[in-house]
Amino acid sequence: MHSIIVKAPAKVNLFLKVLGKRKDSYHNIITIFERISLADTIKVFKISAGIIVKSDKFITQNPKDNLVYKAAKLILECGKIKSGVKIEIKKKIPVTAGLGGGSSDAAAVLRGMNKLFRLRLSDNSLLNMAKSLGADVPFFVLDTAFAIGRGRGDELEVIKPGKRFWHLIIKPGNKTSTKSIYEAFDKIPKHLTPGRESAKIQIPSKFRIDYKQAESILHNDLEIAVSSKKGVTGRILKSLAQLLGKKAIVSGSGPSLFCLYRTRREALDARDTVLRSVNARSRTLWQIFVV
């Protein structure tokens, strides 16, 4: 086998609560991840030496700064592989959007190269590598639709899926960095943020997430920081609530936001309502997905 193709799905955070800052500069959180059908495609080829990363859309100025490059380097070193890899990325997940595209691409490279070079690395080995790359990467290494994330988000507990549901996702034209959003959150007076005691969510052992459950837990502490730093996101959230009569929340550190629907038809109708109601000039840089 000289090459392998791996799908790298996006995620949304159905629930995200910030518990406090850690000594390592990260934050302790509790979140519920959901893997969605929006996905990048990663193709990995064996080459004689080195690491080459190519993407059909801009990802980083220096390829060595990209998580995909770092993931490939980790696998090559771990497997003591003397040859190299060329990695081609076809992007469908928006960059710096709060949808986990970079983390998912890195996880796809870990999984794909493990198979390509027949390394037979255990799930635990891949998870430990994923943790060293970033807080969201471990979730994408797991073969699961839903998981609770604790600690930095990398201490995971799998949740079983119920009947599938649909999402309308809007990515505004602005970009955010996770670091800047957490810094903004830390500066918000504590009386304006939800109390720590509300961080406890009870998940029964046989809990399955379906539309009703997902709709009932939608929450993101970082939303106040995203909305204050990037005012356009807050305006869109308010507009969606009025226009669709639905709760919409920010995913991760944003700026993408989403709302839930029971069926694909309902989500498509909501998308069409948005497109009719928001003039083309106002949504020039928007990306809209039904997934």
40, 136, 154, 221: the catalytic one is: 136
- Let me know: does 167 contact 12? Beta carbons within 8 Å: yes
Q: What are the Cα distances from residue 128, in Å, to 26, 65, 121, 233, 258?
A: 17, 20, 11, 35, 31
Burial of 80 (0-12, 13-18, 19+ CB in 10 A): exposed
11, 17, 70, 230: the catalytic one is: 11
Give CA–CA dist 22/5, Å, rounded. 37
Q: Is 160 noted as a catalytic residue in this protein?
A: no
The residue type at 240: L
Q: What are the Cα distances from residue 121, in Å, to 2, 4, 108?
A: 19, 17, 14
Strand boundaries in the chain, DSSP class E? 3-21, 27-47, 51-55, 84-90, 146-150, 155-161, 166-171, 208-209, 219-220, 249-250, 257-261, 287-290
Q: Is 136 noted as a catalytic residue in this protein?
A: yes
Catalytic (active-site) positions: 11, 136
